[in-house]
Structure 1
Amino acid sequence: MFFSRILRFHVDFLSKKRHDFSFVYNTYRMASFSLSKKKVSLVGSGNWGSAFACHIGENIRQLKSQYHERILMWCKEEILDDGSKLTEVINKKHENVKYLPNKKIPDNIVAVPDLAEAVKDADILIFVIPHQFVKTTCEQLRDKIKKDAFALTLTKGFYVDEKTNELLLVSKIIENTLNIQCASMMGANIASEVADKFFCEATVGSRNDKNSEMIRQLIDTPLFRLRFYPDVEIIEMLGALKNIVAMLAGFSEGLGARFNTRAAILRLGLREMISFCRLYRKESTLEVYFESCGIADLITSSLGGRNYMGAKKMTETNKSLKDIEKEDLNGQSLQGPSTAKEVYRYLQGKNLLDRFPLFRDAHLICEHKIKPHVFIDNLGAHPEFEQKNHKQS
């Protein structure tokens, strides 16, 4: 009897130890697995940011073994007309009622008003904010992100340094301020259509194969296809410049211009876009201009984009662009006017305004220095028509 009790004690003890070890081991495995998964954060929650959240929020659920399903989305806090906070409404209704109404945001997207909290421990930061706020946002993020993180910018716009007249791209501001690599993604992507899951495509500029593969995993789907090129800067610049041409398309339609004229504006606008990009970087892949970030985005933005609609409304009503943003676009910012201003400053500093009459006139119209009809009157004098014989390049 005595030896029987001793034997049973040892069996029970070893069984308990085996159970405890198994529990500890499994807990360790789960913790290690969780730590190895990548975390994604969205910096921005406007019209395009919320639409992109709809896409990536659903897609990341299929990648649970590699990425954390929960995505924090930084949302600059706003008080709505009924007194409620925008972040709380987004998290409760799963809808950005101000900037993307009637579109369901997946419940694994969590709006956060604190910027530092939104990016904490993030491996991939996706910037989707107006370019006017990139500098100040990055300054707030300095020393608050992981050293081995990388960024992807969906922001369309750039700055010109007032002292040096140097072009400052959003990707470069992110890289220089945060000391991380930054890719760019641009394309013909109207926000509401992306949220509604209509087919679209985009162009990604990335020089890092590992980062490119993660971007492909997170974003590329049968309904949202990606094409990759190393021309980060050109892809990014095209995404900004097309907003200027889209405004001109809006001005022309508001004035009653016919299809022939409007087609000429798009062609000449594309020529100015390419010429401007080559001022920044002479050597670039010609094929990029015919990708989604180039001619496709130009066409889409000039048919139904925000800058096109704002410019058309300005011509038809004589409202200021600020009033149009407030009254007709529900507070959404037009990127075309600010980009036109930066481009004008850059070209003026290089004494090249006459070579880019469309870009020049777009800024002057926005500043109310010339009437919209003037740029159409000037089309026939565009330097593009000074060429007597076609020269092979």
Structure 2
Amino acid sequence: MHRCALFLTKRVWQLRPFEPFQSPNFSLYSISSFSLLILSTPSSHFLSPFLHSLSPSSSMAPGIEALQRSSNGGSVRPDSHLSDDGVSSKFKVTVVGSGNWGSVAAKLIASNAARLSCFHDEVRMWVYEETLPTGEKLTDVINRNNENVKYLPGIKLGKNVIADPDLENAVKDANMLVFVTPHQFVEGICKRLVGKIRGDVEAISLIKGMEVKKEGPCMISSLISQELGINCCVLMGANIANEIAVEKFSEATVGYRENMREIAEKWVQLFTTPYFVVTPVQDVEGVEMCGTLKNVVALAAGFVDGLEMGNNTKAAIMRIGLREMRMISKLLFSSVKDSTFFESCGVADLITTCLGGRNRKVAAAFAMNGGKRSFDELEAEMLQGQKLQGVSTAKEMYEVLNHRGWLELFPLFASVHEICTGHLSPSAIVEYSERKPNFSVIDGHAQ
């Protein structure tokens, strides 16, 4: 019935503008019989973002309020959180990270935290403290101007966003943690948080990458869960941060584990806006692998652009890259679903990253320079402090594939790493086909 409710909700967007959800670019739509639509849906929890948004000014509010009361014994609203002592409390959110994507995530979250009664209106954002060229601390400037002037200049985050340079202080009262830092820093951050977070914390990772350990690859969500002993969902999608910051329409996918649908819907509620639509999928590994591996394919697309090989070649690289992404994911995690690759986290994220992401941009510059300038040098020059994920992910995947004897099965992924390290020229990205790999994935096994 949840799927039915989502279908009906999307359909009503097409009918009539609804004022509380107006944005400069997109509007949410409603119909006069919306209250009847809700009443015909058993689960009001699923539609709670819309219920709360309607109540301030809609003529349908009395009917909606009655529905909310009846759905929970006439007392606490259906999306309230009960603490261990049975007292109703609000969800309090901290964003762990404050780069380009972290700042945009804070903006999305802040807009909903201020609007929805189930969330505490204050949103903490942990900032790795930096001194700006003016001599001021980045945190002080963010709190004074309500703007991350270094990583998201010109965008107001929301007056309820509080930048905090003290990691432990930033998370101490939160029961929803949003991790959005470069993946190589996650383990160190988690070790600092052991014993410093609440016992009822839920986490979500927006981080695209993995850690390679002796026992094999470890996804960031698994690393967070293992280090902190908490459940961790993931959010991935075709999300170029600067476009979302100016409220251009985008989609994303929340991946969740079995029996975690309720918390997944809470994350959907926290992130969803009229211009940022989020869909839950029960496939954490599939969603996260898509978000991780697409950065490697984006490097390949960048090499093609830098050498001006043309759109046909780039399309071929993207197709081959998607095939290898799917195969690697299913070989490493048998639970990965094919359908996940058709969500925003899959093919959509691959397309947008290969067309406009930072990995593609820097890889194109690398190829134009004939591989003579290192990625570290180009990253420092072109990204103003932001970090590439593709180069480190390519290295990590190369180690995994090499260890398992799979390099010949994944020539595109192998070639990208060898180009990044100078063992092959950028033009080798199309020459790899001479290796003529012979492989297939059937039920998650290479043959």
Pairwise TM-score range, normalised by the shorter structure: 0.7 to 0.9
Give the aligned partner of residue 10 of structure 2: none
Q: State whether structure 2 residue 182 is matched by structure 1 residue 130.
A: yes
1:381 shift after superposition: 4.2
Partner AA of 2:101 in structure 1 = W
For the pair shown, the structure with the greater C-alpha radius of gyration is: 1
Higher helix share: 1
Q: Does residue 283 of structure 2 align to residue 201 of structure 1?
A: no
1:220 to 272, 276, 287: 272
Cα distance in structure 1, aligned partners of 2:238 and 2:438: 26
Q: Deviations over 1:329-361 (max 9, x none)?
A: 101100000000100000000011011111111
**Where do 1:93-108 residues align within 5 Å?**
93-108=145-160
* Residue of structure 2 aligned with 1:369, choices 383, 405, 423: 423
Q: 1:171 aligns with which of 211, 218, 221?
A: 221
CA spacing shift, 1:386–1:148, aligned 2, 3 Å: closer
Residue by residue, what CA displacement relative to the aligned partner does 1:207-237 show, whole Å, maximum 9, x if unpaired?
Answer: 3122112112211222111111111011011
Aligned counterpart, 1:292: 344
Matched, 1:340 2:340: no
Aligned 8 A contact 1:269 1:358 in 2 = yes
Q: Which of 230, 237, 241 lines up with 1:191 in the alignment?
A: 241
Q: CA deviation at 1:313?
A: 1.3
- 1:50 equivalent in structure 2: 103
Contact 2:254 2:278 survives alignment (8 Å): yes
**Percent of matched pairs sharing the same residue:** 46
Q: Which of 92, 98, 109 does residue 39 from structure 1 map onto?
A: 92
1:67 equivalenced with 2:119 (yes/no): yes
Q: What is the 5 A alignment of 1:1-393?
A: 36-63=89-116, 65-161=117-213, 163-164=214-215, 166-207=216-257, 208-317=260-369, 318-379=372-433, 381-383=435-437
Using the size of structure 1 for normalisation, the TM-score is: 0.87
**Whole-angstrom CA distance in 1 between matches of 2:262 and 2:310:** 48
CA-CA distance at 1:263 after TM superposition = 0.7
Q: Deviations over 1:144-193 (max 9, x none)?
A: 111111100000000111x32x1111111111111110000100000001
Moved more, 309-318 or 120-129: 309-318
Aligned mates of 2:94, 2:118 — CA distance in 1: 15
Distance verdict in 2 for CA 1:385–1:174, change over 3 Å: closer
Which aligned segments of 4 or more residues in structure 1 are displaced greater than 6 angstroms?
32-35, 384-387
- Aligned residue pair count: 353
Q: Given the two structures, how large is their TM-score scaled by the length of structure 2?
A: 0.76
Q: What amino acid is aligned across from residue 104 of structure 2 in structure 1?
A: A
Q: Is the 8 Å Cα contact of residues 52 and 194 (structure 1) preserved in structure 2? A: no
Gaps of 5+ in 2: 1-84, 442-447
User: 8 Å contact 1:125–1:152 — kept in the other structure?
Assistant: yes
Matched AA of 1:333:
K
Amino acid aligned to 1:268: I
Distance 2:407 2:229 in 1: 35
